[in-house]
Structure 1
Amino acid sequence: MRPGERVEVLFSSDILCPAPPRYEPGRSVIAFLSNGNGRWWTVGMSYGTRHPTNPADVDAYRRVVTAARDAQARSAPPHRKETANSEQEHLDWQVRAALHPATRWDGLYELSRGAAALTRAQRQQLAHGFTTQPSFDLTVAQMLTTLRGFPHKDFDRATANVLETVFVEQGAPPWISKAFDLLRERHGEKPEPRTPWYKRVPSKSPIEAKAEQARALARDWLSFKKRHGLKPRRLVFLAAPLVDETGGTLPF
């Protein structure tokens, strides 16, 4: 595609599951497309459309996409023999993507599953990246999972600031209980597994059950801060620049 070129992409907004790509009038979109038989379509359904909110987000995507393209070119014939450690290069790319909030989910999607052995330097990179540019979505829990067992006081403080902000601004989104318990773990606590709201209060409506769980989490958060003498500060809340069911808004 050339700059300024117009393309028509086939998609359906009526599909609910799997979540479809989202193209909204007047809203910028970074789309991952493929074509064939003279038609364009979105790769990976909802995964294939991202919605940047500022030029920095666009630049972040441009950097990681360019890095991925270059790595793939190096691993393809006739250069394949020259790139003996493509797995390490893939891991480096994931860490790089996880440093910026806009692409953090893309980097942590695999890292948070624990398949790769991160070096201490890479964990340090991730902790520093989150501390300097925190996010306020599912990637908080993913980052805590990825850095499990890696001590970093600045990261702990930054995470507490994020959770304080989210509790005030959003209440209790689905991922926050996981993030909260992982932070408790980092402070030496051993949280008991939480019962999901839909099993906890079966006799109540979903709205009532969710509200009760949110109140319980808020009480636990206050107690946790008191136990450890924490005084987290509220940050400027930056809502996830993503459409529902994509990237950092996916259920944990």
Structure 2
Amino acid sequence: MTFDPGTPAPDVVADDHALSAWLAEVAGRRLLEVREEGLTGKELKNAGDQAAHELLMELLAQYRPDDAVLSEEGKDDKARLDAAKVWIVDPLDGTREFSEPPRDDWAVHVAVWQDGDLVAGAVAQPELGETFNTGTPPVVPARTSTRPRIAVSRSRPPAFVEALAAELDAELVPMGSAGVKMMSVVRDVADAYVHAGGQYEWDSAAPVAVARSAGLFTSRVDGSELRYNQDDVYLPDVIVCRPELSEQILAFVAAHGTEA
């Protein structure tokens, strides 16, 4: 059966914030459908990556034909470097978790870069029925934990984060997708996400855009600005945290580095 994404309202098409949220939500619905097709393991991973990528490329070609696109699953067309606007997408962030139903810690990322910076973005967590977006910036709840909580990879947490946790007397909270980890700070499931190594622009663009809109602190681990639509899309490190934790985290990294 052919998937029908529906037609967005004219006001959604006219606004990058609203369109990014709609695109992420629609791709998420497509992925939920793929999850019900009876595939497992690598076949499910590949089917999810392909289905979400193809749908997003089709819809962006329809609704933003003049904009460039950078997708994890697509060829990197360097023409984007001369474009005024670039959509940076990760059609399925957390492919491993997606392939392990009923896990819900996977996401769809859709971000918009324009004239040098992120200007819009959305992160859909389909199994939660949530799409966090810059059009309606999330309100971060008051912190409910007495100890800081740091979101980390459930499979390969950076070693230095354990030392950081000891320094802050923090609890480590394992979970999947990078976007899910960053949204966990938005949701008061964690208070910080600190990562170094093995990420690219599409891993963090949309979550960083949403986190910024919610008033959270974002930077690279050395405190420098996160830059997108670069010639080299490798962007290995990121901090997303409640503002009150940023100085302690940056001071620890400055003193100890990320090789511990």
TM-score, reference length from structure 2: 0.27
Determine which structure has the larger strand proportion and give its number: 2
Structure with greater Cα Rg: 1
Q: Normalization by structure 1: what TM-score?
A: 0.28
